[in-house]
Amino acid sequence: MATDAIAIAGTALTVHRKWLDAISDNIANVNTVRSTNEEAFKAHYVIARAGEGTTGVYVEGGAYSSSEGRMVYEPDHPLADEKGYVRYPDIDLGQQMGQLIMAQRGYEANAAVVDRAKTTYEAAIQIGRN
């Protein structure tokens, strides 16, 4: 039924939106500098699970990178330690951009499912009126 398709695609839209939020946060913080005695920004990842039966998909939770970050020699940086090092997150921008494209395409595909199911549902109502 069209309403089931809309509901299931709607759950996927939520998951893809949260995935996009996590990726955009990771990309925005790829150059976040911390002193060496602080933790580096930890990349955020979304954990999704399939629902039971035909209930769609949902975000089960999130996970954070376990990386300690990259130590970079920047002696002129105001946060540099006595040896001239600062800490950057260990985030691969290329990998994040690939994830961004997948999440965006998934979001677009599920939005198209909602739109097509809505059109089908409206057509069925119109047929019922005639």
Q: Model confidence over 64-110: pLDDT tens digits? A: 998 899 999 999 999 999 999 999 999 999 999 999 999 999 999 99
Please name which of 34, 46, 37 lies closest in space to residue 89, comparing C-alpha atoms: 34
Cβ count near 67 (within 10 Å): 14
pLDDT digits (tens, 9 = 90+) for 39-68: 999 999 999 998 877 688 999 999 999 889
Domain that holds residue 27: 2-129
Residue 53 and residue 4 in contact, taking contact as beta carbons nearer than 8 Å: no
Domain count, the chain: 1
The owner of tokens 């398709």 is 5
Global confidence as pTM: 0.84
Long-range CB pairs of 106-111 (<8 Å, 24+ gap) are 106/12, 106/16, 106/19, 107/13, 107/16, 107/17, 107/20, 110/9, 110/10, 110/12, 110/13, 110/16, 111/9, 111/13
